[in-house]
Amino acid sequence: MIKVLSIGNSFSEDSTRYLHGIAKSAGVDLKSVNLYIGGCPLCEHYINAIEDRPNYALTFNGEGTGFHVSIKEALLSESWNGWDYITVQQVSHKAPDYDTYQPYLNSLVEYVKKYAPKAKLLVHQTWAYEQGSDRLTKELGYNDYHEMLNDVTRAYDKACRDIDAYGIIPSGTAFDRLIENGIKQVHRDTFHASPGLGRYTLGLVWYEVLTGNSLDNISFNDFDVPVTDEEIKIAKKSAHEAVMKYWDK
């Protein structure tokens, strides 16, 4: 079994919504747990960790549980050989600015390693906001979503180096590939992932990074909203292109 724990927010919630089901459809036993606080930045994750606050809604295999836990409780919950992977990320509106990552990221990672020393750390690269949206232009001051994506990419690349992470989950790159491959709508509210195709593509990216397996054997089709066969084909192509940009060794 592959066991992955995400210390995140709604963006990791989007990314792991279908992850367990995608893996199951290919015969892979994968356990996905997301620690969710909406809009939670790294500074808040760090404070929650050192003060052992049970503030996180626990999502198990893409489904809410109704339970709330602390980071420490989640880290220690996998007593049998521990977690295989643990993901970290910055909140989306701060993701382009690396100055907002530190010193919280390094301190959070130090805390994680204390309680889960065997886990491989992955940096979850979040994505840019919708082209032309107020969040992109008025809130963050970008003229084009590529500008935000470039800043986000640089910041996460630096984060990966600074914490000596195992690697990057390139969700932001995958959304860019979706758009370049002809998908016009990848967001549901100008910044979260669309509930069908967007979340599915993210799940594919995570699956390929975590397993190294081809996406060809994925037969998952239990979507919250319909996804067409052509969209599934484009999602697999886009996800694989994104992963290969970072993991083609």
Render pLDDT for 165-194 as a digit per residue (tens, 0 to 9): 999 999 999 999 999 999 999 999 999 999
CB-CB neighbours of 215 under 10 Å: 19
Assess whether pLDDT exceeds 70 at residue 50: yes
pTM of model > 0.75: yes
Q: How confident is the model at residue 248, as a pLDDT?
A: 78
80-123: pLDDT as tens digits: 779 999 999 999 999 999 999 999 999 999 999 999 999 999 99
pLDDT of residue 78: 84
Whether a cis peptide bond, with omega within 30° of 0, leads into 41 is no
User: Which tokens is 51 given?
Assistant: 């003060």
- Fold classification of 2-247 is Rossmann fold (3.40.50)
In this model, does residue 54 exceed pLDDT 60? yes
Residues 6+ apart with CB under 8 A from 70: 48, 49, 52, 53, 54, 55, 56
Q: What is the dihedral of CA 155, 156, 162, 165, to 10 degrees?
A: 180
The Cα 122–Cα 210 span in angstroms is 9
Q: What is the mean pLDDT of residues 231-240?
A: 98
- pLDDT for the residue 28: 98
What confidence tens digit (pLDDT) does each residue in 197-222 have? 999 999 999 999 999 999 999 999 99
| Confidence at residue 201, expressed as pLDDT on a 0 to 100 scale | 98
Residue 45: the pLDDT is 98
To the nearest whole number, what is the mean pLDDT of the chain?
A: 97
- Helices then strands (H, E): number in the chain? 10, 7
| Angle ∠(151,209,100) on CA atoms, nearest 5 | 30
Per DSSP, helices labelled H in 51-196 are 71-77, 104-115, 134, 145-162, 171-180
CB atoms within 10 A of CB 148: 25
The predicted model gives 134-157 an average pLDDT of 98
Going from N- to C-terminal start, the domains of the chain cover 2-247
